[in-house]
Amino acid sequence: MMDGRLRATKHGRVNEKGSEVAIEPFRTAYIPRPSDMVIGYVEGCTNNIWFIDIGAPFNAILPMSLGPGKAAFGGTRSILDIGEAVLCRVQEVEETHSSVVTMKGLGLRKIRSGNIEQVDPHLLGRLIGKGGKALNQLKEDTGCRIIVADNGRVWVDGEFDSIITVRDRLQAMSDDAKSTGVGA
């Protein structure tokens, strides 16, 4: 409250419930938490570490020991090159907000096909739906394989027309949430 007026630090829609007023932001940043499944892009590498853009304020690191395979010292680019997409899991988040990711685990891998879309992280609950119903319906309607990562990135693989349909539905969901102020 400033000068008798409410001021918001985020751009969004006003939600009033009784005497409580809240702002539903139009956009949110992804803040990593341990065990989050994320889709990231390789942004750089050194002799034994990859730097992964997971959409957080700071890049994550992927040590070779937690990577998808072993390479000779200095051979990181032969396994994961700059610009490639990976499905990984946040292993730890440090006090400085930097995070360590791993590709050791069931289903974690380099993404070689399909398309990656971006959804605001606060809309993920709406995309997935109660008990996963909305996501399962989208998969059934389009015949696409879809993975929704905790950082708001969505991997879609299938026929070209089906991928376009999924992209259009994701955009419509995002536009609808911004106009109605509904989020997760």
Say if residues 90 and 105 touch (Cβ distance below 8 Å).
no
Q: What's the pLDDT score for residue 118?
A: 93
pLDDT score of 109? 96
pLDDT digits 0-9 by tens, 126-162 = 888 888 898 999 999 999 999 999 999 999 999 999 9
Residue 176 sits in a domain whose CATH number is 3.30.1370.10
Same domain, 107 and 167: no
Dihedral sign, Cα of residue 170, residue 171, residue 173, residue 177: positive
Angstrom distances, CA of residue 143 to CA of 130, 154, 159, 160? 20, 15, 8, 11
Residues 45 and 102 in one domain: yes
pLDDT band at 181 (very low <50, low <70, confident <90, very high): low
In a domain, 124, yes or no: yes
In this predicted structure, the answer to whether residue 182 has a pLDDT above a threshold of 70 is no
Looking at the fold, whether 55 and 83 belong to one and the same domain comes out as yes
Based on the domain organization, do 106 and 85 belong to the same domain? yes
pLDDT in tens, 54-85: 999 999 999 999 999 887 888 889 999 999 99
Taking only the tens place, the pLDDT of each residue in 23-40 is 777 777 899 999 999 999
Helix (H) or strand (E) holding 176: helix 160-180
Cα 63 to the center of its chain, rounded Å: 20
Choose one of 92, 111, 130: the last residue of a domain. Answer: 111
Most distant CA atoms of the chain, gap in Å: 65
Strand duo 49-53 + 60-63: pairing: antiparallel
Is 12 inside a domain boundary?
no
Which domain range does residue 137 map to?
115-180
Q: How many domains does the chain have?
A: 2
Query: Can you give the CATH number for the domain in which 69 is found?
Result: 2.40.50.140
